[in-house]
Amino acid sequence: MTAITGTANAERRAELLATAAEVFAAQGYNATTVRRIADEAGMLAGSLYYHFDSKESMLDEILSAFLDELWTGYDTVLAAGLGPREAIGALVTQSFRQIDRHGPAVAIYQRESRHLSAQPRFAYLADSQLKFENAWLRTLERGVAEGAFRGDLDVRLVYRFVRDTVWVAASWYRPGGTHSPEEIARQYLSMVLAGITTKT
């Protein structure tokens, strides 16, 4: 009984969060009213507070759930002991899969994370950002050291170039379109890798 209710409860929460994420992504967090989310979910604004503490806690759950999944994928890649080129390829592909599966969350993250990370509650965004930066920078530096990547470029610039190149796609990518995430990843990689690898 309790288990069933708990599951039903969890499902309802997930549904509501998915709805909220879509609206946040479409209109921006600040510009989204709680009433709008409730409308979309077929209830009144006040009723959402039975399920969630606040508008902010909805945002929090959306972003942390996304980051949890993201890091599960990334950590697997990083632990696989791949060479620099393959590692970069795997990370990019992972990223496009996340964009495909968590499009709204990615879009929210892109738009809001900078100013959110100043708040204690969202400090984990800054942590994640740092961990992310470290993972990429180390992989790139390893590639330069091994002679796989060009050494004449500022590594931080390359990092930002690759990072932005990938994540910004969330602003136009729509699931179910012409290209699968893997196909987009393939084309992106063929450009990006050509730009940063040494000529052989």
> Where does this chain bind DNA (CB under 7 A)?
5, 8-9, 12, 32-35, 38, 43-47, 49-51, 53-56
Is 161 near a copy of itself (CB under 8 A)? Answer: yes
Enclosing H/E stretch for 108: helix 103-116
In angstroms, the CA 57 to CA 25 distance is 16
In angstroms, give the least distance from the CB of 167 to a copy of itself.
Answer: 8
Residue 161's binding partner among DNA, a copy of itself, none (Cβ under 5 to 8 angstroms by kind) is: a copy of itself
In angstroms, the CA 189 to CA 68 distance is 25
In angstroms, give the least distance from the CB of 51 to DNA.
Answer: 6
Distances, alpha carbon 122 to alpha carbons 13, 61, 110, 115, 119, in Å: 21, 11, 14, 10, 5
Is 85 near a copy of itself (CB under 8 A)? Answer: no
Is 195 near a copy of itself (CB under 8 A)? Answer: yes
Closest CA to 100 of 128, 137, 73: 73
Helix (H, G, I), strand (E, B) or coil at 43: coil
Closest CA to 129 of 107, 114, 144: 114
Beta bridge partners of 149: 197
Binder among 18, 26, 82, 120 for a copy of itself (CB under 8 A): 26
Is 59 near a copy of itself (CB under 8 A)? Answer: no
In angstroms, give the least distance from the CB of 183 to DNA.
Answer: 38
Residue 46's binding partner among DNA, a copy of itself, none (Cβ under 5 to 8 angstroms by kind) is: DNA
In angstroms, the CA 91 to CA 93 distance is 5
Q: Which of residues 29-58 bind a copy of itself (CB under 8 A)?
A: 30-31
Which residues of this chain interact with a copy of itself, rule CB under 8 A? 26-28, 30-31, 111, 114-115, 152-154, 157-158, 160-161, 164-165, 168-169, 171-172, 179, 184, 187-188, 190-196
